[in-house]
Chains A and B, each alone.
Chain A
Protein backbone atom coordinates (compact mmCIF):
# COMPACT_ATOMS: atom_id res chain seq x y z
CA UNK A 1 0.00 0.00 0.00
CA UNK A 2 1.16 3.47 -0.82
CA UNK A 3 2.09 5.48 2.24
CA UNK A 4 0.23 8.76 2.53
CA UNK A 5 2.45 11.63 3.60
CA UNK A 6 0.98 13.69 6.42
CA UNK A 7 -0.02 17.19 5.42
CA UNK A 8 2.50 19.82 6.41
CA UNK A 9 0.67 22.10 8.81
CA UNK A 10 1.61 25.75 9.23
CA UNK A 11 2.94 24.96 12.72
CA UNK A 12 5.28 22.27 11.38
CA UNK A 13 6.47 24.61 8.62
CA UNK A 14 7.12 27.32 11.19
CA UNK A 15 9.13 24.93 13.35
CA UNK A 16 11.15 23.87 10.29
CA UNK A 17 11.70 27.53 9.44
CA UNK A 18 13.34 28.06 12.83
CA UNK A 19 15.63 25.10 12.18
CA UNK A 20 16.40 26.47 8.70
CA UNK A 21 17.41 29.82 10.19
CA UNK A 22 19.91 28.00 12.42
CA UNK A 23 21.18 25.77 9.59
CA UNK A 24 21.63 28.67 7.19
CA UNK A 25 23.11 31.02 9.77
CA UNK A 26 26.61 30.59 8.39
CA UNK A 27 25.63 31.07 4.75
CA UNK A 28 26.42 34.75 4.10
CA UNK A 29 24.23 35.03 1.05
CA UNK A 30 20.95 34.31 2.88
CA UNK A 31 18.59 37.28 2.40
CA UNK A 32 15.37 35.75 3.69
CA UNK A 33 13.88 32.67 5.37
CA UNK A 34 10.12 32.32 5.31
CA UNK A 35 7.08 30.19 4.62
CA UNK A 36 5.80 29.31 1.16
CA UNK A 37 3.91 26.41 -0.43
CA UNK A 38 5.07 23.63 -2.69
CA UNK A 39 2.44 21.47 -4.36
CA UNK A 40 -0.22 22.90 -2.08
CA UNK A 41 1.64 22.09 1.14
CA UNK A 42 3.44 24.53 3.36
CA UNK A 43 7.20 24.64 2.87
CA UNK A 44 10.23 26.65 3.94
CA UNK A 45 11.63 29.23 1.54
CA UNK A 46 15.24 30.33 1.68
CA UNK A 47 16.30 33.34 -0.39
CA UNK A 48 19.92 33.83 -1.43
CA UNK A 49 21.58 36.95 -2.83
CA UNK A 50 23.73 34.80 -5.13
CA UNK A 51 24.67 31.21 -5.89
CA UNK A 52 26.31 29.34 -3.03
CA UNK A 53 29.98 28.31 -3.22
CA UNK A 54 30.57 25.02 -5.05
CA UNK A 55 30.45 22.10 -2.65
CA UNK A 56 28.00 23.77 -0.26
CA UNK A 57 25.21 21.31 0.55
CA UNK A 58 21.79 22.83 1.09
CA UNK A 59 18.99 20.79 2.67
CA UNK A 60 15.98 20.03 0.48
CA UNK A 61 13.88 18.99 3.47
CA UNK A 62 13.84 19.72 7.19
CA UNK A 63 11.88 17.36 9.49
CA UNK A 64 9.73 16.30 6.55
CA UNK A 65 9.03 19.89 5.48
CA UNK A 66 10.24 20.67 1.93
CA UNK A 67 12.74 23.51 1.48
CA UNK A 68 12.76 25.73 -1.56
CA UNK A 69 15.91 27.74 -2.24
CA UNK A 70 15.71 30.71 -4.62
CA UNK A 71 18.37 33.17 -5.78
CA UNK A 72 16.60 36.52 -5.41
CA UNK A 73 19.61 38.78 -5.88
CA UNK A 74 20.30 41.84 -3.78
CA UNK A 75 17.30 43.64 -2.31
CA UNK A 76 17.09 47.43 -2.35
CA UNK A 77 14.60 49.87 -0.90
CA UNK A 78 12.25 50.91 -3.69
Chain B
Protein backbone atom coordinates (compact mmCIF):
# COMPACT_ATOMS: atom_id res chain seq x y z
CA UNK B 1 0.00 0.00 0.00
CA UNK B 2 1.03 3.64 -0.31
CA UNK B 3 2.73 5.43 2.55
CA UNK B 4 -0.25 7.70 3.24
CA UNK B 5 -2.59 4.72 3.30
CA UNK B 6 -0.34 2.84 5.72
CA UNK B 7 -0.04 5.89 7.96
CA UNK B 8 -3.76 6.53 7.86
CA UNK B 9 -4.57 2.92 8.66
CA UNK B 10 -2.09 2.94 11.51
CA UNK B 11 -3.68 6.03 13.07
CA UNK B 12 -7.14 4.65 12.63
CA UNK B 13 -6.32 1.26 14.15
CA UNK B 14 -4.39 2.79 17.01
CA UNK B 15 -7.37 4.88 17.94
CA UNK B 16 -10.09 2.34 17.33
CA UNK B 17 -8.53 -0.90 18.40
CA UNK B 18 -5.19 -0.86 20.13
CA UNK B 19 -5.64 2.00 22.62
CA UNK B 20 -8.96 0.73 23.92
CA UNK B 21 -7.47 -2.71 24.31
CA UNK B 22 -4.47 -1.52 26.25
CA UNK B 23 -6.54 0.69 28.50
CA UNK B 24 -8.98 -2.08 28.92
CA UNK B 25 -6.49 -4.81 29.57
CA UNK B 26 -4.93 -2.73 32.31
CA UNK B 27 -8.22 -1.84 33.84
CA UNK B 28 -7.85 -3.79 37.03
CA UNK B 29 -6.39 -2.39 40.17
CA UNK B 30 -9.92 -1.27 41.00
CA UNK B 31 -9.37 2.14 39.47
CA UNK B 32 -12.51 3.88 38.49
CA UNK B 33 -13.16 5.33 35.32
CA UNK B 34 -12.85 8.35 33.28
CA UNK B 35 -14.45 7.90 29.93
CA UNK B 36 -16.99 5.63 28.49
CA UNK B 37 -15.53 6.39 25.09
CA UNK B 38 -12.56 4.16 25.77
CA UNK B 39 -14.59 0.99 25.70
CA UNK B 40 -13.56 -1.17 22.74
CA UNK B 41 -15.37 -0.38 19.55
CA UNK B 42 -18.49 -2.43 19.72
CA UNK B 43 -19.26 -5.23 17.37
CA UNK B 44 -15.95 -5.84 15.71
CA UNK B 45 -14.39 -7.72 18.59
CA UNK B 46 -17.52 -8.88 20.33
CA UNK B 47 -17.53 -12.41 21.54
CA UNK B 48 -13.90 -13.03 20.82
CA UNK B 49 -11.73 -13.76 23.81
CA UNK B 50 -8.63 -11.66 24.27
CA UNK B 51 -5.40 -13.20 25.43
CA UNK B 52 -3.64 -10.62 27.50
CA UNK B 53 -1.06 -12.39 29.57
CA UNK B 54 0.22 -11.45 32.95
CA UNK B 55 2.04 -14.01 35.02
CA UNK B 56 0.57 -14.98 38.35
CA UNK B 57 2.66 -12.97 40.81
CA UNK B 58 2.37 -10.46 43.64
CA UNK B 59 0.42 -7.41 42.44
CA UNK B 60 3.03 -4.90 43.59
CA UNK B 61 5.59 -6.31 41.13
CA UNK B 62 3.50 -5.82 38.01
CA UNK B 63 4.06 -3.00 35.49
CA UNK B 64 1.12 -0.72 34.84
CA UNK B 65 0.49 -1.89 31.29
CA UNK B 66 0.53 -5.51 30.25
CA UNK B 67 2.85 -6.37 27.39
CA UNK B 68 0.91 -5.89 24.24
CA UNK B 69 0.99 -4.46 20.75
CA UNK B 70 2.63 -1.52 18.93
CA UNK B 71 1.75 -0.26 15.47
CA UNK B 72 3.84 1.55 12.87
CA UNK B 73 4.67 1.59 9.21
CA UNK B 74 7.21 -0.73 7.60
CA UNK B 75 8.71 -0.49 4.13
CA UNK B 76 9.28 -3.52 1.94
CA UNK B 77 10.75 -3.10 -1.55
CA UNK B 78 9.02 0.21 -2.13
CA UNK B 79 5.72 -0.96 -0.68
CA UNK B 80 4.45 0.11 2.70
CA UNK B 81 2.85 -2.20 5.17
CA UNK B 82 1.27 -1.91 8.57
CA UNK B 83 4.01 -2.81 11.03
CA UNK B 84 2.77 -4.71 14.07
CA UNK B 85 5.13 -5.38 16.94
CA UNK B 86 3.86 -7.74 19.58
CA UNK B 87 5.51 -8.47 22.85
CA UNK B 88 4.26 -12.00 23.34
CA UNK B 89 4.20 -14.91 20.90
CA UNK B 90 0.65 -15.77 21.98
CA UNK B 91 -0.57 -12.42 20.66
CA UNK B 92 0.43 -13.34 17.11
CA UNK B 93 -2.58 -15.63 16.91
CA UNK B 94 -4.87 -13.45 18.99
CA UNK B 95 -8.23 -12.10 17.85
CA UNK B 96 -6.71 -8.62 18.02
CA UNK B 97 -4.04 -9.59 15.47
CA UNK B 98 -6.59 -11.27 13.24
CA UNK B 99 -8.58 -8.04 13.31
CA UNK B 100 -5.52 -5.92 12.43
CA UNK B 101 -4.56 -8.26 9.59
CA UNK B 102 -8.07 -8.10 8.19
CA UNK B 103 -8.18 -4.30 8.35
CA UNK B 104 -4.83 -4.08 6.54
CA UNK B 105 -6.00 -6.64 3.97
CA UNK B 106 -3.09 -8.87 4.80
CA UNK B 107 -0.46 -6.17 4.20
CA UNK B 108 1.11 -6.51 7.60
CA UNK B 109 4.62 -7.03 8.85
CA UNK B 110 4.39 -8.82 12.20
CA UNK B 111 7.32 -9.28 14.53
CA UNK B 112 7.70 -10.45 18.07
CA UNK B 113 9.87 -7.93 19.86
CA UNK B 114 9.86 -9.28 23.38
CA UNK B 115 9.87 -7.21 26.51
CA UNK B 116 10.56 -3.50 26.24
CA UNK B 117 11.32 -2.17 29.64
CA UNK B 118 10.14 1.40 29.45
CA UNK B 119 6.87 1.82 31.22
CA UNK B 120 4.12 3.97 29.82
CA UNK B 121 1.15 5.21 31.71
CA UNK B 122 -2.24 4.07 30.58
CA UNK B 123 -5.30 6.19 30.69
CA UNK B 124 -7.60 5.19 33.44
CA UNK B 125 -9.73 2.22 32.79
CA UNK B 126 -13.38 2.11 31.98
CA UNK B 127 -15.58 0.86 34.82
CA UNK B 128 -16.76 -2.72 34.69
CA UNK B 129 -20.29 -1.74 33.82
CA UNK B 130 -19.14 -0.15 30.58
CA UNK B 131 -17.02 -3.07 29.42
CA UNK B 132 -18.94 -4.95 26.82
CA UNK B 133 -19.85 -8.14 28.65
CA UNK B 134 -19.62 -10.19 25.51
CA UNK B 135 -15.97 -9.37 24.99
CA UNK B 136 -14.59 -10.53 28.32
CA UNK B 137 -14.35 -14.31 28.19
CA UNK B 138 -16.11 -16.29 30.92
CA UNK B 139 -12.82 -17.52 32.39
CA UNK B 140 -11.85 -13.96 33.38
CA UNK B 141 -15.22 -13.24 34.98
CA UNK B 142 -16.97 -14.03 38.23
CA UNK B 143 -18.01 -17.65 37.60
CA UNK B 144 -20.47 -19.51 39.85
CA UNK B 145 -20.46 -22.35 40.35
CA UNK B 146 -16.65 -22.26 40.47
CA UNK B 147 -15.43 -23.87 37.25
CA UNK B 148 -12.22 -25.52 36.07
CA UNK B 149 -10.23 -22.95 34.05
CA UNK B 150 -11.58 -19.81 35.71
CA UNK B 151 -9.53 -16.89 37.05
CA UNK B 152 -8.43 -17.26 40.67
CA UNK B 153 -5.80 -15.91 43.00
CA UNK B 154 -4.60 -15.01 46.47
CA UNK B 155 -5.91 -11.58 47.37
CA UNK B 156 -2.41 -10.10 46.72
CA UNK B 157 -1.64 -12.03 43.51
CA UNK B 158 -2.47 -10.89 39.95
CA UNK B 159 -4.30 -13.89 38.50
CA UNK B 160 -3.97 -17.61 37.93
CA UNK B 161 -6.30 -20.46 37.07
CA UNK B 162 -8.51 -22.92 38.98
CA UNK B 163 -7.05 -26.33 38.20
CA UNK B 164 -9.59 -28.74 39.61
CA UNK B 165 -11.47 -29.63 42.78
CA UNK B 166 -10.16 -32.14 45.30
CA UNK B 167 -10.96 -33.75 48.64
CA UNK B 168 -8.63 -33.89 51.60
CA UNK B 169 -10.03 -35.24 54.84
CA UNK B 170 -13.69 -34.32 54.80
CA UNK B 171 -13.40 -30.98 53.06
CA UNK B 172 -13.43 -29.77 49.44
CA UNK B 173 -10.61 -27.66 48.07
CA UNK B 174 -9.72 -25.92 44.88
CA UNK B 175 -6.31 -26.77 43.44
CA UNK B 176 -3.89 -24.33 41.81
CA UNK B 177 -0.21 -23.40 42.05
CA UNK B 178 1.63 -22.28 45.16
CA UNK B 179 2.57 -19.07 43.31
CA UNK B 180 -1.10 -18.39 42.56
CA UNK B 181 -2.67 -19.23 45.94
CA UNK B 182 0.24 -19.00 48.39
CA UNK B 183 2.35 -16.22 46.83
CA UNK B 184 5.50 -18.35 46.58
CA UNK B 185 5.31 -19.25 50.30
CA UNK B 186 4.75 -15.62 51.34
CA UNK B 187 1.10 -16.18 52.26
CA UNK B 188 -0.37 -17.54 55.47
CA UNK B 189 -2.86 -20.32 56.04
CA UNK B 190 -6.33 -18.81 56.13
CA UNK B 191 -5.53 -16.03 53.63
CA UNK B 192 -8.37 -15.11 51.30
CA UNK B 193 -8.67 -16.40 47.76
CA UNK B 194 -10.68 -14.45 45.19
CA UNK B 195 -12.58 -15.63 42.08
CA UNK B 196 -12.21 -13.70 39.81
CA UNK B 197 -8.68 -12.74 40.77
CA UNK B 198 -7.67 -9.18 41.63
CA UNK B 199 -6.20 -8.56 38.17
CA UNK B 200 -9.55 -9.36 36.57
CA UNK B 201 -11.37 -6.93 38.83
CA UNK B 202 -12.08 -9.35 41.69
CA UNK B 203 -13.27 -7.54 44.81
CA UNK B 204 -12.48 -8.26 48.41
CA UNK B 205 -14.63 -9.27 50.28
CA UNK B 206 -17.49 -9.79 47.82
CA UNK B 207 -15.61 -12.24 45.58
CA UNK B 208 -13.93 -14.31 48.29
CA UNK B 209 -14.50 -17.97 47.62
CA UNK B 210 -11.90 -19.91 49.60
CA UNK B 211 -9.14 -19.81 52.23
CA UNK B 212 -5.59 -20.98 51.66
CA UNK B 213 -4.94 -24.20 53.66
CA UNK B 214 -2.11 -26.36 52.31
CA UNK B 215 0.79 -25.84 49.95
CA UNK B 216 4.05 -27.49 48.93
CA UNK B 217 6.99 -25.28 49.91
CA UNK B 218 9.19 -24.11 47.04
CA UNK B 219 12.79 -25.05 47.83
CA UNK B 220 15.71 -22.87 46.78
CA UNK B 221 18.12 -25.79 47.01
CA UNK B 222 17.56 -29.27 45.65
CA UNK B 223 14.80 -30.41 43.34
CA UNK B 224 11.16 -29.36 43.51
CA UNK B 225 8.47 -31.55 41.97
CA UNK B 226 5.25 -29.65 42.51
CA UNK B 227 4.16 -26.00 42.50
CA UNK B 228 0.83 -26.67 44.16
CA UNK B 229 -1.57 -25.39 46.80
CA UNK B 230 -5.06 -26.09 48.11
CA UNK B 231 -7.65 -23.56 49.23
CA UNK B 232 -10.66 -24.72 51.22
CA UNK B 233 -13.86 -23.67 49.49
CA UNK B 234 -16.09 -21.46 51.65
CA UNK B 235 -19.45 -22.77 52.81
CA UNK B 236 -22.18 -21.76 50.41
CA UNK B 237 -19.85 -21.46 47.39
CA UNK B 238 -20.87 -23.97 44.73
CA UNK B 239 -18.39 -25.66 42.43
CA UNK B 240 -18.61 -27.92 39.38
CA UNK B 241 -15.85 -30.51 39.55
CA UNK B 242 -16.45 -32.13 36.18
CA UNK B 243 -17.33 -29.48 33.60
CA UNK B 244 -14.56 -28.67 31.12
CA UNK B 245 -16.26 -25.62 29.71
CA UNK B 246 -15.75 -24.98 25.99
CA UNK B 247 -12.71 -27.26 25.94
CA UNK B 248 -12.88 -28.64 22.41
CA UNK B 249 -14.11 -26.47 19.53
CA UNK B 250 -16.21 -24.47 21.93
CA UNK B 251 -18.06 -27.54 23.23
CA UNK B 252 -18.08 -28.71 26.84
CA UNK B 253 -16.45 -31.94 27.93
CA UNK B 254 -16.51 -33.79 31.25
CA UNK B 255 -13.49 -34.59 33.37
CA UNK B 256 -13.33 -38.40 33.37
CA UNK B 257 -10.97 -38.94 36.30
CA UNK B 258 -7.26 -39.53 36.65
CA UNK B 259 -5.14 -40.46 33.65
CA UNK B 260 -2.29 -42.99 33.64
CA UNK B 261 0.92 -42.24 35.54
CA UNK B 262 2.95 -42.39 32.33
CA UNK B 263 2.58 -39.58 29.80
CA UNK B 264 4.33 -40.21 26.49
CA UNK B 265 5.88 -37.85 23.97
CA UNK B 266 3.45 -36.97 21.19
CA UNK B 267 0.29 -37.25 23.33
CA UNK B 268 -2.41 -34.76 22.55
CA UNK B 269 -3.47 -32.66 25.56
CA UNK B 270 -5.85 -29.81 26.35
CA UNK B 271 -6.28 -27.16 29.01
CA UNK B 272 -8.49 -24.21 29.93
CA UNK B 273 -6.64 -21.23 31.36
CA UNK B 274 -7.48 -17.76 32.61
CA UNK B 275 -5.51 -16.02 29.83
CA UNK B 276 -5.60 -18.12 26.66
CA UNK B 277 -8.77 -20.07 27.48
CA UNK B 278 -9.08 -23.51 25.91
CA UNK B 279 -6.02 -24.62 23.90
CA UNK B 280 -4.62 -27.86 22.53
CA UNK B 281 -1.05 -29.06 22.84
CA UNK B 282 1.32 -31.92 22.31
CA UNK B 283 3.71 -33.44 24.82
CA UNK B 284 7.26 -32.77 23.61
CA UNK B 285 9.20 -34.26 26.53
CA UNK B 286 8.66 -36.05 29.85
CA UNK B 287 10.77 -37.05 32.87
CA UNK B 288 12.35 -33.63 32.41
CA UNK B 289 14.84 -32.87 35.19
CA UNK B 290 16.88 -29.75 36.02
CA UNK B 291 14.10 -27.47 34.76
CA UNK B 292 15.26 -24.06 35.99
CA UNK B 293 12.40 -21.61 36.59
CA UNK B 294 12.97 -17.93 37.43
CA UNK B 295 10.66 -17.30 40.40
CA UNK B 296 10.59 -14.01 42.30
CA UNK B 297 12.26 -15.83 45.21
CA UNK B 298 15.08 -17.10 42.97
CA UNK B 299 15.90 -19.75 40.37
CA UNK B 300 14.25 -22.99 41.38
CA UNK B 301 14.94 -26.46 40.03
CA UNK B 302 12.14 -28.86 39.11
CA UNK B 303 12.52 -32.57 38.32
CA UNK B 304 10.16 -35.08 36.71
CA UNK B 305 8.30 -32.49 34.64
CA UNK B 306 6.26 -32.64 31.43
CA UNK B 307 6.91 -30.27 28.49
CA UNK B 308 4.19 -29.23 26.04
CA UNK B 309 4.01 -27.19 22.82
CA UNK B 310 0.93 -25.60 21.31
CA UNK B 311 -0.68 -27.25 18.28
CA UNK B 312 -1.05 -25.31 15.06
CA UNK B 313 0.34 -21.84 15.21
CA UNK B 314 -0.62 -20.97 18.79
CA UNK B 315 1.09 -21.06 22.17
CA UNK B 316 -0.26 -23.65 24.61
CA UNK B 317 -0.24 -21.14 27.46
CA UNK B 318 0.66 -17.64 28.55
CA UNK B 319 1.07 -15.74 31.82
CA UNK B 320 -2.04 -16.16 33.98
CA UNK B 321 -2.68 -19.73 32.81
CA UNK B 322 -0.75 -21.05 35.82
CA UNK B 323 -2.74 -23.67 37.66
CA UNK B 324 -4.55 -24.93 34.56
CA UNK B 325 -5.44 -28.60 34.62
CA UNK B 326 -3.98 -30.42 31.62
CA UNK B 327 -6.11 -33.32 30.39
CA UNK B 328 -5.35 -36.02 27.85
CA UNK B 329 -7.50 -36.86 24.81
CA UNK B 330 -9.69 -39.12 27.01
CA UNK B 331 -10.41 -36.11 29.24
CA UNK B 332 -8.43 -37.59 32.12
CA UNK B 333 -6.31 -35.38 34.38
CA UNK B 334 -2.64 -35.51 33.38
CA UNK B 335 -0.76 -32.50 34.79
CA UNK B 336 -0.78 -29.13 36.56
CA UNK B 337 0.49 -26.22 34.41
CA UNK B 338 2.94 -23.95 36.25
CA UNK B 339 5.60 -22.39 33.98
CA UNK B 340 6.60 -21.56 30.46
CA UNK B 341 8.87 -19.68 28.12
CA UNK B 342 8.41 -17.65 24.96
CA UNK B 343 10.86 -19.53 22.71
CA UNK B 344 11.15 -23.07 21.42
CA UNK B 345 8.59 -25.58 20.27
CA UNK B 346 8.15 -26.61 16.64
CA UNK B 347 5.92 -23.58 15.97
CA UNK B 348 8.30 -21.20 17.80
CA UNK B 349 5.53 -20.09 20.19
CA UNK B 350 7.25 -21.33 23.31
CA UNK B 351 7.02 -24.31 25.61
CA UNK B 352 4.87 -24.94 28.67
CA UNK B 353 5.88 -26.94 31.76
CA UNK B 354 3.65 -28.95 34.04
CA UNK B 355 3.80 -31.14 37.16
CA UNK B 356 2.43 -34.69 36.65
CA UNK B 357 -0.94 -34.76 38.42
CA UNK B 358 -0.30 -38.03 40.31
CA UNK B 359 2.64 -36.45 42.10
CA UNK B 360 0.64 -33.26 42.78
CA UNK B 361 -2.20 -35.17 44.44
CA UNK B 362 0.15 -37.45 46.38
CA UNK B 363 2.18 -34.57 47.78
CA UNK B 364 -0.95 -32.60 48.68
CA UNK B 365 -2.60 -35.74 50.17
CA UNK B 366 -5.66 -35.08 48.03
CA UNK B 367 -8.01 -37.05 45.78
CA UNK B 368 -9.43 -35.66 42.57
CA UNK B 369 -13.14 -34.87 42.41
CA UNK B 370 -14.84 -35.29 39.05
Contact = CB atoms under 8 A, between A and B. Distances in A.
Interface string A18-30: 0001000000001
B361 interface: no
Contacts of A71: 343-344
A77 B287 contact: no
Contact of B291 (A21, A31, A78): A31
Interface string A29-56: 0111111110000100101010000000
Contact of A77 (B177, B285, B286, B350): B177
Interface residues of A, number: 24
Interface string B56-68: 1100000000000
Given A32-B291, A73-B350, A78 B56 contact: yes
A35 B344 contact: no
Contacts of A76: 55, 293-294, 319, 339-341
Given A36-B285, A78-B320, A78-B321, A31 B56 contact: no
Contact of B353 (A17, A73, A75): A75
B287 A35 contact: yes
Given A32-B307, A34-B285, A35-B265, A77 B57 contact: yes
Contacts of A34: 285-289, 305, 307
A47 to B, nearest CB: 7
B285 A75 contact: no
19 contacts: A14-B287, A21-B289, A31-B290, A32-B291, A32-B305, A33-B290, A34-B287, A36-B285, A37-B265, A37-B266, A70-B344, A72-B344, A72-B351, A75-B340, A75-B353, A76-B293, A76-B341, A78-B318, A78-B339
9 pairs of A and B residues whose beta carbons are closest in the complex: A34-B288, A73-B343, A72-B344, A78-B322, A34-B285, A73-B341, A31-B292, A37-B265, A36-B285
Given A32-B285, A45-B288, A78-B337, 4 more contacts: A72-B350, A77-B293, A78-B160, A78-B322
Interface of B: 55-57, 160, 177, 179, 227, 265-266, 284-295, 305, 307, 317-322, 337-344, 350-353
